[in-house]
Chain A
Amino acid sequence: MQHAVELEALGEQIASASRFIEKAQEQLSRKIIGQHDVVQRIFIALLVNGHILLEGVPGLAKTLIIRTFAAAMNLKFQRIQFTPDMLPADLIGTMIYNPKDMEFYPRKGPVFANVILADEINRSPAKVQSALLEAMQEHQVTIGSQTFPLQEPFLVLATQNPVEHEGTYILPEAQVDRFMMKVLVDYPSYEEELEIMLQSATTGPDKAVSAVVQPEDIFRARELIDRIYVDQRVQRYIVDLVFASRKPAQYGMASLESMIEYGASPRASIFMLLASKAHAFLQRRAYITPEDVKAIAYDTLRHRIRPGYEAEADNIQSDDIIRQILQHVQVP
């Protein structure tokens, strides 16, 4: 069977350029047990310039995963604990007066890093959340009258605790939509828990993680991802999935019509395509298949589909709606 010459060449380039993924995964596996899906999603977001909203109960090694990831990828890491008394200046920085030369100088905030862990983002008021979300969108920050570009690659991983909502400022839908993916961090399996316990219950120093990736590797990967082939059938499949979340009756799911308050936005289509490309890259493929789309569908759609009152009354979550959509929309 004769493949298109371009795709064959691209496939070879991808195979070569994606070697850093293996190296990084090797380093990650020294400290992180399980949570393969979360790690894969972080790779996807980093490769296509997206950001992730992590949701999971405390103690599931969210911070450890991100810290280790940044160390292995040779990226500057900053953890910002969001609190109710936080101000935008605490995040982006402020102008400091120097009495010696009687001038104001910008002092950059913790947002000037490659990997930001915005811990418990919903603990801060809207103005702080907005400051971070603007930085995510624009990749630049303005302090006083000066605008500073953020370092590339720039990846924000914001966490939310799903069980404590008292005293929190729930992220508005418009802001949640800016996150490429919402990843649910689940408990480890029995065997994983056993391994975690044995590995962590020691008073000795932690295992060191080496920086095995250079930012150039990431930029090279991004270039290749942009060239990944997307057939029209797959393009239409993505749009079908997004449209099915808006008009389920047109796709033979009339019962879902009353379950969805509003469906996924056009950002969903864009991010689904980008994430599918990154997923194909991680599989060392130069083209997307519907498998890639299905693999990232839950994470890219769950925060973009809002279940209606009827769904809430029946305890139907957005994941249940996505499952139905995936089961009904015909795969090309």
Chain B
Amino acid sequence: MTPAGLIISLVLIVLSVLAPAVSGSLRADTGEAYPGVTVSLKPDTVLVGDRVFLSVRVSHRESETVAIEGIDSVSVNPSVLIGRKESSSKPLPGAGSERFDYELAVFGSGRQAVPPFTVVLRDGAGAVTKRVPFRSANSVYIKALTDSTMHDLRPIRPPQRPSMPLSVLFPFLLSVFGVALLVLLLLFILKRSVRKSAERVDPGQVAQRKLRKLGSRLSGGMPPHECYEELSNIMRAYLENHYRIRALEAVTQEIERDLKKLGVSGLENIMNLLRQADLVKFADSRPDLDESRQSLQKAEEVVRTSHLEKREQMQ
């Protein structure tokens, strides 16, 4: 290689190594891309009210100072400037780099561009040497919290059509309703007939039947004192059902008071029977067989008389 060729190749190597710095300084000199401005915005999608971080990096000559105008609370409306931070560095001799970090709370909805700003360069004396308006292509997508502005809403589904056609469904429903109505009607009729049949059971007849049974048991060897307990129960049940008074949970005195209020005829006979039964039950009295039979006869008489009286009253 000749000395001239060696020099040329050395110059080319030096040039290739220093190319970026030189090209920067060249751009600054030419004024076409000076100052170098790099803008970044993170994140690119936020919810309304969330914060975004805007970073502006300006490359300039060492002798100059840089300021950004236009990014303040008023200009970035509807966003709000929360905070800002500046830092500078010297990447190469003779060159300077200034970084401006902004924290913004974003409002509104949809895609919002970074607000336009102006890069102002000043010399050592503070005089403005250059003003470069800048509009970044960076933008942020703001998602609204309300449905009205949401773009990712699912489309409203059309109402589901019944699997069974209405022409079939309607008669089906009607028949179910009809069956239910029929069941209710049957239940009502059944209940009414049960009540009526219960009313038809005459307490007098029931008492007489029970008294006859008790008489036959007495003849069959039942101890007379045991007969009185049952006699008392039969009479109380009869009085309760016949006169509609509380007799099973009432003492003899209370029954007497209630029957007196109703003006029951033959009260004395009823009370004698109950008192006799009380003596057997509570005073350890021991009636003989004849006394027991007489009491049963009296009880049947009381039931028959009151039963006839009621029938006459009803007629």
- Which residue numbers of A lie inside 8 Å of B, CB to CB? 1-4, 7, 229, 231, 233-234, 285-291, 294, 326-332
On chain B, the residues within 8 Å of A2 by CB distance are: 285-288
The 3 closest A-B pairs by CB, nearest first: A287-B283, A4-B284, A291-B251
Candidates A3, A288, A290, A330; contact of B279 at CB < 8 Å: A3
Find out whether the CB atom of A289 lies under 8 angstroms from the CB atom of B285.
no
Find out whether the CB atom of A1 lies under 8 angstroms from the CB atom of B282.
no
Find out whether the CB atom of B248 lies under 8 angstroms from the CB atom of A330.
yes
- Tell me, in angstroms, the Cα distance from A330 to B229 when the chains sit together: 14
On chain B, the residues within 8 Å of A286 by CB distance are: 283
Q: Is there a chain A Cβ closer than 8 Å to B64's Cβ?
A: no
- Which residue numbers of B lie inside 8 Å of A, CB to CB? 246, 248-254, 276, 278-288, 291
Jot down 9 A-B pairs with beta carbons below 8 A, ordered by A: A1-B276, A2-B285, A231-B282, A285-B283, A286-B283, A287-B282, A288-B282, A289-B251, A327-B249
Find out whether the CB atom of A7 lies under 8 angstroms from the CB atom of B251.
no
Find out whether the CB atom of B249 lies under 8 angstroms from the CB atom of A329.
yes
On chain A, the residues within 8 Å of B288 by CB distance are: 1-2
- Tell me, in angstroms, the Cα distance from A329 to B287 when the chains sit together: 28
Find out whether the CB atom of B286 lies under 8 angstroms from the CB atom of A331.
no
Given A231-B282, A327-B249: 11 more A-B contacts, CB < 8 Å: A1-B285, A3-B279, A4-B285, A7-B283, A287-B283, A288-B282, A289-B251, A291-B251, A326-B249, A329-B249, A331-B250
Find out whether the CB atom of A7 lies under 8 angstroms from the CB atom of B284.
yes
On chain B, the residues within 8 Å of A291 by CB distance are: 251-253
- Tell me, in angstroms, the Cα distance from A180 to B170 when the chains sit together: 74
On chain A, the residues within 8 Å of B283 by CB distance are: 3-4, 7, 229, 231, 285-287
On chain B, the residues within 8 Å of A7 by CB distance are: 283-284
- Tell me, in angstroms, the Cα distance from A332 to B280 when the chains sit together: 12
**Closest chain A residue to B247 by CB distance?**
A331
- Tell me, in angstroms, the Cα distance from A4 to B282 when the chains sit together: 11
Min CB gap B18→A, angstroms: 95
On chain B, the residues within 8 Å of A294 by CB distance are: 251, 254
- Tell me, in angstroms, the Cα distance from A3 to B283 when the chains sit together: 7
**What's the A-B contact tally at a CB cutoff of 8 Å?**
63
**Closest chain B residue to A325 by CB distance?**
B249
On chain B, the residues within 8 Å of A288 by CB distance are: 282
Q: Kindly name the residue among A1, A3, A289, A326 whose own CB sees the greatest number of chain B CB atoms within 10 A.
A: A1
Find out whether the CB atom of A331 lies under 8 angstroms from the CB atom of B281.
no
On chain A, the residues within 8 Å of B252 by CB distance are: 289, 291
On chain A, the residues within 8 Å of B280 by CB distance are: 1
On chain A, the residues within 8 Å of B291 by CB distance are: 1
Find out whether the CB atom of B248 lies under 8 angstroms from the CB atom of A233.
no
Min CB gap B174→A, angstroms: 42
Known: A1-B279, A1-B291, A331-B249. A287 touches B284 (CB 8 A): yes
**Closest chain B residue to A285 by CB distance?**
B283
Candidates A4, A234, A331; contact of B248 at CB < 8 Å: A331
- Tell me, in angstroms, the Cα distance from A328 to B248 when the chains sit together: 9
On chain B, the residues within 8 Å of A3 by CB distance are: 279, 283-286
**Closest chain B residue to A289 by CB distance?**
B282
- Tell me, in angstroms, the Cα distance from A2 to B228 when the chains sit together: 14
Find out whether the CB atom of A328 lies under 8 angstroms from the CB atom of B249.
yes
Q: Kindly name the residue among A4, A231, A290 whose own CB sees the greatest number of chain B CB atoms within 10 A.
A: A290
On chain B, the residues within 8 Å of A233 by CB distance are: 281-282
Find out whether the CB atom of A289 lies under 8 angstroms from the CB atom of B278.
yes
Find out whether the CB atom of A1 lies under 8 angstroms from the CB atom of B287.
yes
- Tell me, in angstroms, the Cα distance from A288 to B284 when the chains sit together: 11
On chain B, the residues within 8 Å of A330 by CB distance are: 248-249
Candidates A234, A326, A329; contact of B282 at CB < 8 Å: A234
Find out whether the CB atom of A332 lies under 8 angstroms from the CB atom of B281.
yes
Min CB gap A324→B, angstroms: 11
Min CB gap A277→B, angstroms: 13
- Tell me, in angstroms, the Cα distance from A234 to B252 when the chains sit together: 14
On chain B, the residues within 8 Å of A289 by CB distance are: 251-252, 278, 282
- Tell me, in angstroms, the Cα distance from A3 to B288 when the chains sit together: 11
- Tell me, in angstroms, the Cα distance from A331 to B249 when the chains sit together: 5
Min CB gap B200→A, angstroms: 27
On chain A, the residues within 8 Å of B250 by CB distance are: 331
**Closest chain A residue to B246 by CB distance?**
A327
On chain B, the residues within 8 Å of A287 by CB distance are: 282-284
**Closest chain A residue to B287 by CB distance?**
A1
- Tell me, in angstroms, the Cα distance from A290 to B279 when the chains sit together: 12
On chain A, the residues within 8 Å of B278 by CB distance are: 289
Min CB gap A212→B, angstroms: 30
Find out whether the CB atom of B251 lies under 8 angstroms from the CB atom of A231.
no
Find out whether the CB atom of A290 lies under 8 angstroms from the CB atom of B251.
yes
Find out whether the CB atom of A231 lies under 8 angstroms from the CB atom of B286.
no
Find out whether the CB atom of A4 lies under 8 angstroms from the CB atom of B286.
yes
- Tell me, in angstroms, the Cα distance from A286 to B253 when the chains sit together: 18
- Tell me, in angstroms, the Cα distance from A272 to B285 when the chains sit together: 24
Min CB gap B289→A, angstroms: 12
On chain B, the residues within 8 Å of A231 by CB distance are: 281-284
Min CB gap B249→A, angstroms: 6
**Closest chain A residue to B279 by CB distance?**
A1
On chain A, the residues within 8 Å of B251 by CB distance are: 289-291, 294, 331
